[in-house]
Amino acid sequence: MTTKNIMIVGVGGQGSVLASKLLGHLLTKQGYDVKVSEVHGMSQRGGSVVTYVRYGDKVYSPVIDRGQADFIVSFEILEAARWLDYLSQDGQIVTSTQQIDPMPVLTGAMNYPENLLAEIQKTGAKVDALDCLKLAEQAGSSKAVNLVLLGRLSHYFTDITQEAWQEAISECVPQKFLDLNRKAFDLGRNA
């Protein structure tokens, strides 16, 4: 099969590392060649962060280029908009509706763009938007947004069973947070 591309975008500290770890683990167990690429260091300090997950028969590049993402999984609407240029023509956005003001907005130098979700949809992009923060809190922690998003994303992977997802969760999440994360995943999946 041709290589499939998933981008995980958000703000440093939101939990994209666990999300990419889980996806990488899941897809490896499905027998695919997998590459996951992220950047550590300064950008993690509250900056815009992006992780690339690629899988298929044979994957070369560790990064996804413009117009190549089959999925953009976004923790924050502004970040989905920032990386829109990377979405493929029939790509799907799965995003949390959370808004986090970046420093230029906090200081009043710029405004957070209005009706951003509608602006993204106007480009023809397919958008699945969900209040993941609310669902994560419902599951027991605002930190579980990553699993809510993965639960939502799992919808679109018709060839990967629910059991395989559950197995990957139990193998990647610390035991004491397992119930919380399972609940968050289910809330996202069934929303």
Partner 1 sequence: MKRLMQGNEAAARGLYEAGCCVASSYPGTPSTEITEEIAKYDDVYSEWSPNEKVSMETAFGASLAGRRSFCGMKHVGLNVAADPLFTVSYTGVNAGMVICVADDAGMHSSQNEQDSRHYAKAAKLPMLEPSDSQEALDYFKAAYEISEKFDAPVIVKMCTRVAHSQSLVEAGERQEVPERPYEKNIAKYVMMPGNAIKRHPVVEERMKRLADFAETSGLNRIDDGSDKSTGIVTSSTCYQYVKEALGDKFPVLKLGMIWPMPERKLKNFADTVDRLVIVEELDGFIEEHCKILGLKCEGKSLFGYLGELSQNIIAEKLGLPVTRGRKLDDSVKIPARPPLMCAGCPHRGLFFTLNQAGCTVLGDIGCYTLGAVAPLSAMDMTLCMGASVSAVHGFSKAGGKNVVAVIGDSTFMHSGMTGLANIAYNQSKSTVIILDNSITGMTGHQQNPTTGLNIKGDPAGKIDLESLCRAMGFNRVRVVDPYNLKECADVLREELDADESSVIISRRPCALLKHVKHNPPLTVDTAKCVGCKSCMKIGCPALSMKGGKAHVDETLCVGCGVCEQRCKFGAFKGGE
Fill in the per-residue mask, 90 to 129: x = in contact with partner 1 (CB under 8 A), - = not in contact: -----------xxxxxxxxxxxxx--x--xx-xxxx----
* CA pair distance 18, 154, nearest whole angstrom: 15
Q: Does 88 bind partner 1 (CB under 8 A)?
A: yes
Of 34-63, binders to partner 1 (CB under 8 A) are 34-48, 59-63
* CA pair distance 54, 45, nearest whole angstrom: 25
Smallest distance, partner 1 to C-beta of residue 87, A: 5
Smallest distance, partner 1 to C-beta of residue 170, A: 17
H/E run at residue 5: strand 4-11
Smallest distance, partner 1 to C-beta of residue 124, A: 7
**Residues 45-63: b if buried by 16+ CB within 10 A, e if exposed:** eeeebbbbbbbbeebeeee
Report the relative pairing of strands 4-11 and 48-56 from DSSP bridges.
antiparallel
Give DSSP secondary structure letters for 62-123. Answer: SS--TT-EEEEEESSHHHHHHTGGGEEEEEEEEEE------HHHHTTSSPPPTTHHHHHHHT
Q: Site for partner 1 (CB under 8 A): how many residues? A: 63
Q: Does 12 bind partner 1 (CB under 8 A)?
A: yes
Fill in the per-residue mask, 68 to 87: x = in contact with partner 1 (CB under 8 A), - = not in contact: xx--------xx-xx-xxxx
Binding interface with partner 1 (CB under 8 A) = 11-13, 24-25, 28, 33-48, 59-63, 65-69, 78-79, 81-82, 84-89, 101-113, 116, 119-120, 122-125, 142
